[in-house]
Amino acid sequence: MTAVPLWVRLPARERVGWLRTVDHKAIGVLYIGMGVAFFAIGGLEALLLRAQLATPEERLLDPETFNQAFTVHGVTMILLAVVPLLVGFANYLVPLMIGAPDVAFPRLNALSFWLSLVGGIVLYFSFLAGGAPDTGWFSYAPLSERAFAPGTGVDYYILGLAVNGAGTIIGAINLAVTILLMRCPGMAISRVPLFVWMTLVTSVLILGAYPALTAALVMLLVDRQLGGHFFDPGGGGQAVLWQHLFWFFGHPEVYIMVLPAMGMISEVIPVFSRKPIFGYGFVAGSSVAIAFLSFGVWAHHMFAVGLGDTENAIFSATSMLIAIPTGVKIFNWIATMVGGRLRMTTAMLFAVGFIAMFVIGGLSGVSLAVVPIDLAVTDSYYVVAHLHYVLFGGTMLGIFAGTYYWFPKMTGRLLNEVLGRWHFWTTFVGFNLTFLPQHWLGAVGMPRRVFTYAASTGWGPLNLLSTIGAAILAIAMVIFFVNLVRSLRSGEIAGDDPWDAFTLEWATTSPPPPENFASIPAVTGRRPLWDRKHPELRDAP
Partner 1 sequence: MIAVRPAIGTNRTLLGVAIFIASESIFFLAIVLAYVAYRDAGLATAKATLDIGRTAVFSVALFGSSGTMALAARAESGRWLAATIVLGAIFLTGQGSEYARLLGEGIGPGSALFGTTFFTLTGLHGLHVLAGLVALGALVAANRRRRRAVHPVAWEAVGMYWHFVDAVWVVVFSVVYLGTLL
* Interface residue list for partner 1 (CB under 8 A): 104-105, 169, 172-174, 176-177, 180-182, 207-208, 210-212, 214-216, 218-219, 222-223, 226-230, 235-238, 241, 245, 248
* Orientation of helix 63-75 relative to helix 106-128, angle to 10°: 180
Instruction: Return the number of other C-beta atoms located less than 10 Å from residue 535's C-beta.
Output: 8
Cβ-based nearer residue to partner 1, 32 or 172: 172
Question: Identity (one letter) of the amino acid at 455?
Answer: A
Cis before 142 (ω within 30):
yes
Does 46 contact ligand HEM by CB under 6 A?
yes
Stretch that binds Cu ion, among 84-92, 230-238, 249-257, 411-419 (CB under 5 A): 249-257
Cβ-based nearer residue to partner 1, 104 or 322: 104
**How far apart, in whole angstroms, are the C-alpha atoms of residue 416 and residue 398?**
18
Does 82 contact ligand HEM by CB under 6 A?
yes
Cβ-based nearer residue to partner 1, 235 or 281: 235
78 binds, among Cu ion, ligand HEM, partner 1, none (CB under 5 to 8 A by kind): ligand HEM
**How far apart, in whole angstroms, are the C-alpha atoms of residue 455 and residue 471?**
22
Cβ-based nearer residue to partner 1, 149 or 414: 149
Does 470 contact ligand HEM by CB under 6 A?
yes
174 binds, among ligand HEM, Cu ion, partner 1, none (CB under 5 to 8 A by kind): partner 1
Does 120 contact ligand HEM by CB under 6 A?
no
**How far apart, in whole angstroms, are the C-alpha atoms of residue 505 and residue 468?**
40
Stretch that binds ligand HEM, among 169-177, 279-287, 381-389, 495-503 (CB under 6 A): 381-389
308 in the Ramachandran plot: left (φ > 0), alpha (ψ -120 to 50) or beta?
left
Question: Identity (one letter) of the amino acid at 202?
Answer: T
Q: Residues in the chain, how many?
A: 541
**How far apart, in whole angstroms, are the C-alpha atoms of residue 206 and residue 86?**
13
> What is the chain's Cα-based Rg?
23
Does 449 contact ligand HEM by CB under 6 A?
yes
**How far apart, in whole angstroms, are the C-alpha atoms of residue 43 and residue 384?**
15
Q: Which of 251, 275, 329, 423 binds Cu ion (CB under 5 A)?
A: 251
Return the closest-CA partner of residue 70 out of 125, 132, 121. 132
251 binds, among partner 1, ligand HEM, Cu ion, none (CB under 5 to 8 A by kind): Cu ion
Please give the residue whose beta carbon sits closest to Cu ion in the complex: 251
Stretch that binds ligand HEM, among 76-84, 215-223, 229-237, 457-465 (CB under 6 A): 76-84
Least separation in angstroms between residue 240's CB and partner 1 is 10
* Orientation of helix 417-443 relative to helix 397-411, angle to 10°: 160
**How far apart, in whole angstroms, are the C-alpha atoms of residue 41 and residue 75?**
11
Q: Which of 137, 246, 333, 530 binds ligand HEM (CB under 6 A)?
A: 137
Least separation in angstroms between residue 459's CB and ligand HEM is 13
Cα 94 to Cα 28, 120, 240, 257, 269: the distances in Å are: 10, 25, 39, 17, 18
* Orientation of helix 397-411 relative to helix 239-273, angle to 10°: 60
Does 73 contact ligand HEM by CB under 6 A?
yes
Does 473 contact ligand HEM by CB under 6 A?
yes
| Residues of the shown chain interacting with Cu ion in the complex, contacts defined by CB under 5 A | 251
| Residues of the shown chain interacting with ligand HEM in the complex, contacts defined by CB under 6 A | 43, 46, 49-50, 70-71, 73-74, 77-78, 82, 136-137, 384, 387-388, 391-392, 396, 434, 448-449, 470, 473
